[in-house]
């Protein structure tokens, strides 16, 4: 708080804003958000099979991402689509979203029959283009992490 030194002015106290504490608080908040933001993203953990093929370019419209987790649960763009009766859950979900292009991501531990069941439902739901997501290999032949 500062006081005016002139005696002929009767305005009293002079209000000054000290921005240094404000800047300090904002910098601390910025650092906190920068540290915690990457921890807020959650995803499904899927161990992808490896392949030597090259990735393909996607068109401007983003395809739907269908994930089959190791437990057998199916997700469409991160939203659960059920695991028991896929025809009653996954099919209507794909039809409602009018999915024509999709990427299938399946864990290596998922039985082949389960992947085929998901592909069958996708085919009957009207998916016309399908891409399979795999883990690329390193030049020495081992999977890249």
pLDDT of residue 82: 76
**What's the whole-model pTM score?**
0.57
Spatial distance between the Cα atoms of 91 and 113, rounded to a whole number of angstroms: 17
- Report whether 105 contacts 69 (CB < 8 A): no
Q: What is the predicted pLDDT for the residue at 4? A: 54
Nearest CA to 72 out of 20, 19, 110, 126 is that of 110
Q: Is the per-residue pLDDT at 3 higher than 60?
A: no
Q: What is the mean pLDDT of residues 58-79?
A: 81
- The distance in angstroms from the start CA to the end CA of the chain is 59
pLDDT for 10-58, tens place per residue? 556 767 788 899 999 999 999 999 998 888 777 777 777 776 665 555 4
- Cα 55 to Cα 102: distance, rounded to the nearest angstrom: 15
Q: Average pLDDT in the 75-102 region?
A: 85
Structural domain boundaries in the chain:
2-40, 50-136
b vs e for 44-56, b when ≥16 Cβ sit within 10 Å of the residue's Cβ? eebeeeeeeeeee
Torsion on CA atoms 142, 43, 89, 132, rounded to nearest 10: -30
Any idea which residue has 């089959």 for tokens?
68
pLDDT at 94: 86
Identify the CATH class of 50-136.
alpha beta
* Rounded distance between C-alpha atoms, residue 110 and residue 20, angstroms: 57
């Amino acid at each position: 708080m500062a006081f005016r030194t002139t005696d002929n002015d009767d305005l009293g106290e002079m209000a000054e804003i000290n921005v240094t504490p404000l800047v300090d608080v904002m910098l601390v908040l910025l650092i906190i958000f920068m540290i915690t933001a990457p921890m807020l993203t959650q995803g499904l953990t899927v161990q992808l099979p490896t392949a030597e093929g090259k990735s393909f370019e996607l068109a401007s419209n983003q395809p739907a991402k269908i994930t089959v987790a190791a437990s057998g649960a199916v997700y469409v763009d991160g939203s659960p689509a059920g695991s028991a009766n896929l025809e009653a859950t996954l099919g209507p979900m794909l039809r409602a979203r009018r999915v024509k292009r999709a990427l299938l991501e399946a864990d290596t531990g998922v039985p082949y029959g389960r992947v085929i069941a998901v592909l069958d439902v996708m085919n009957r739901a009207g998916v016309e283009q399908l891409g399979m997501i795999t883990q690329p290999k390193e030049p020495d032949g081992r999977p890249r992490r």
